[in-house]
Chain A
Amino acid sequence: MVINTALLSQLANNIRKHAITMTSLGGSSHIGSILSIADILAVLYGSVLKYRPDNPNWVGRDRFILSKGHAGAGVYAALAESGFFSKDKLKTHYQNGSDLSGHVSHKGIPGVEFSTGSLGHGLPVAVGMALAAKIDKANHRVFVLMSDGECDEGSNWEAILFASHHRLDNLVVIIDRNKLQSIKSTEHTLSLEPFSDKWRSFGWEVIEIDGHDCPELYKVCIDDGEVSRNKPLCIVANTIKGKGVSFMENNVLWHYRSPQGFEYDAAMKELENGDA
């Protein structure tokens, strides 16, 4: 299959613009964490995941869990762009009475598989879903998008052991390796390196890639039936926190700060310049 790189880039840019607007309107945090996964979300929703927006609970769909729930605005934007609900709804994000919560929630939101917000929950649940697919001999796959800082949580390592022990090769973990967590870098906080080796030593197949390279992301995420791993797959996607807005890139300030006034205008201008 040939992918349309221009379309995926445009989808990623749209997700970024929605996220800037949503976090600005809501005065909410985590824009840096959303921008770092925009390309991953675009590739997943634009070319990899099997889903039916008119039948969100279609049993043959691929399952996707955003374990780094604080980047939920990115998933809401990707779902709206993919036809699950109106883009107008995005404006209610973080507002009084809205069901589009700051951390991703499934209640009332078609297309959201699982609610998260507390870190270290998504992977064990995805493991359960992948195990169920094995028991039922179903062909869909289960994807989990995690943050690197989230790997501090011990519950993940319980699930990592379990997934390799049970050879859950229908499970794909993507790590948003932006190397920044809430206060400092991952290496200053609780060093993760050698990160890929840790996963490998737990029995996983590990592929490291540039998390902003859409064709590359597509190549490692797509199941072309040619690779039989017999083990779960971890994609370490090297990313830049705040990617796409120059003054947000690699700046931990934007883990919490919400773009307002001239910051909002400048961010949108940069992203609009990236439109096709």
Chain B
Amino acid sequence: MRDAFLSALTKLAGVDKDIVLLTADLGYGVFEEFESKFPGQYFNVGVSEQNMTGVASGLSLEGKKVVTYSIGNFPTLRCLEQIRNDACYHDTNITIVASGGGFSYGSLGMSHHATEDIAILRALPNMSVVAPCSVREAGEAITVMIKNGGVSYIRLDKTAAEDLHTEDDFIIGKARRYKDGKDITLMATGGILNEANIAANELGKLGISVRVVGMHSIKPIDRDEIIDAASNTGGIVSVEEHNKDGGLGSAIAEVCMDCGITPKIFLRIGLSNVYSSIVGSQQYLRSRYEIDSTSIVNKVINELAV
């Protein structure tokens, strides 16, 4: 996903000289080409995320289109107040990009597990929150966010679902239906959509017809797609590599309640208020915390059996 993001950004920066990329000293072996091609559009601000976000706000108020980059929680939680006061309140044009959503950096430990970022950032007014589900969507997300302007957060994942073969444009707030079905809808955000796709195939073998929706946008969210899933399928199961509190599942539940629609089945698959002191690969931790495809299959069967 990171490579697709950077390749799209490089293309954009070549034609739009107002684009400025700031990194907080992360991206070794990644940004060298961008820096050499566009020296006046790239600054490594050092290990200083608060300053990075303040500088980004100042640059943006002078007309620049700024991308701030780091990994995990560093460009988001470390400088949350700068994002709120400086970036969002001042209606700036800043795209915050974090590489390493969820357990992407699973073995690096709790500090590097980004598992509350979606909830925290979507609480901010003037903020869009996007977690691309596939490699293609990572490139589409940065392209669209720079074009749209405003403040946004793009959460990049190490894993990705297979690209959907579609001619439809990537639209912020418009979900993508990867597979249609009627018994249950799996709604997933980020690379963990891959687990939902695998689970859907497994459930299909058992005769269960599953709709799979990729929710690359958490804010704004696709209300129509949620209402359709709640009304026309057997229920909604949300899947996210994130704490359940305030995440994708919460956002879906808000839409259902606001619209007065109660899906027959509603289940949130995510982390249950834990910090993981246990480390391991992303796949290992997904399995350990029961958010992998096998766990999704088991939980769906369990729900449908009741």
The contact string, 1 if C-beta is below 8 Å from chain A, for chain B 47-59, is: 0101101111111
* Identity of the chain A residue whose Cβ is nearest the Cβ of B63 in the assembled complex: A132
B27 at the binding interface (Cβ < 8 Å): no
For A120, what are the chain B residues with a Cβ–Cβ distance below 8 Å? Answer: 50
Tally of B interface residues using CB under 8 Å: 26
**Interface-located stretch among B78-86, B159-167, B214-222, B268-276:** B78-86
Q: Which residue of A lies closest to B58 (CB)?
A: A128
C-alpha gap A123/B53 in the complex (Å): 11
Is the Cβ of B85 less than 8 Å from the Cβ of A161? no
Would A115 and B54 be within 8 Å (CB), given that A133-B62, A162-B46 are in contact? no
Q: A127-B58, A129-B58, A132-B58 are in contact. Are A121 and B51 (CB under 8 A)?
A: no
> Which residue of chain A is the closest to B49 with respect to CB atoms?
A158
Pairwise interchain contact B55-A125, C-beta atoms closer than 8 A: yes
Assembled-state Cα–Cα distance A133/B85 (Å): 22
Chain A hits for B40, CB < 8 A: 135
Given contacts A132-B62, A162-B51, contact A125 B45 (CB under 8 A): no
Contacts of B45 in A (CB 8 A): 158, 162
User: Which residues on A sit within 8 Å (CB–CB) of B63?
Assistant: 132
B59: chain A residues at CB < 8 Å are 128-129, 131-132
Residue of A117, A131, A136, A158 near B58 (CB, 8 A) is A131
Interface of B is mostly: helix
Are A159 and B81 closer than 8 Å at their CB atoms? no
Categorize the interface residue count of chain A.
20 to 34
Smallest Cβ-Cβ distance to A153: which chain B residue? B50
User: Is A155 in the interface zone, CB < 8 Å from B?
Assistant: yes
Q: Which of B140-161 contact A (CB under 8 A)?
A: none
Give the shortest distance, in Å, between A133 (CB) and chain B (any CB): 7
Q: A121-B82, A132-B58, A162-B45 in contact; A127/B64 too (CB < 8 A)?
A: no
Task: Type the 1/0 row for B83-114, where 1 means its CB is closer than 8 Å to any CB of A.
Answer: 00110011000000000000000000000000
A133 vs B46: C-alpha distance when bound (angstroms): 21
Task: Check if A124 is an interface residue, CB within 8 A of chain B.
Answer: yes
CA distance A131 to B56 in the complex (A): 10
Residue picked from A113, A121, A133, most chain B C-beta under 10 Å = A121
Contact B50 A155 (CB under 8 A): yes
Complex CA–CA separation, A117 to B48 (angstroms): 21
Chain B residues closer than 8 Å to A155, beta-carbon distance = 48, 50-51, 54, 82
When the two chains form their complex, are residues B90 and A124 in contact, meaning their CB atoms are under 8 A apart? no
A126 at interface by CB-CB < 8 Å: yes
- Contact status A127-B86, CB under 8 Å: no
Shortest distance between the CB of A57 and any CB in chain B (Å): 10
- B48 touching A126, Cβ below 8 Å: no
Question: Does residue A154 face the partner (Cβ distance < 8 Å to B)?
Answer: yes
| B61 beta carbon closer than 8 Å to chain A | yes
B57, B58, B82 interface centre (most CB from chain A within 10 Å): B58
Chain B residues whose C-beta falls within 8 Å of the C-beta of A191 in the assembled complex: none
Asked if A200 lies at the interface with its beta carbon under 8 angstroms from chain B, I say no
The reply to whether B82 and A115 form a contact with Cβ atoms under 8 Å apart is no
Is there an interface contact between B55 and A128, defined as CB atoms closer than 8 Å? yes
Q: Which A residues are CB-close (under 8 A) to B20?
A: 135
CB contacts (< 8 Å) of A114 on chain B: these are: 61, 90
Q: Which residues of A contact B58 (CB under 8 A)?
A: 124-132
Q: How far is the CA of A159 from the CA of B56 in the complex (A)?
A: 12
Q: Give chain B interface residues in 224-268, CB to chain A under 8 Å.
A: none
Q: Are B46 and A158 in contact (CB under 8 A)?
A: yes
- Given A115-B89, A118-B85, A162-B46, also A123-B54 (CB < 8 A): yes
Q: Min CB distance, B153 to chain A, in Å?
A: 19
Chain B residues numbered 12-53 whose CB sits less than 8 Å from any CB in chain A: 20, 40, 43, 45-46, 48, 50-51, 53
> Which residue in chain B gives the minimum CB-CB distance to A133?
B62
The answer for the CA separation of A146 and B54 in the assembled complex, in Å, is 15
> Chain A nearest CB: distance from B59 CB in Å?
4
Question: Given that A114-B61, A135-B40 are known contacts, is A128 also in contact with B85, CB under 8 Å in the complex?
Answer: no
Q: List 14 A-B contacts (CB under 8 A).
A: A113-B61, A115-B89, A117-B85, A118-B81, A121-B86, A124-B82, A125-B86, A128-B54, A128-B59, A128-B62, A129-B59, A133-B62, A135-B20, A155-B51
Q: Give 14 new A-B contacts, CB below 8 A, not counting A124-B58, A127-B51.
A: A116-B85, A118-B81, A121-B85, A123-B54, A124-B50, A127-B55, A128-B59, A129-B59, A129-B61, A131-B59, A132-B58, A158-B51, A159-B48, A161-B51
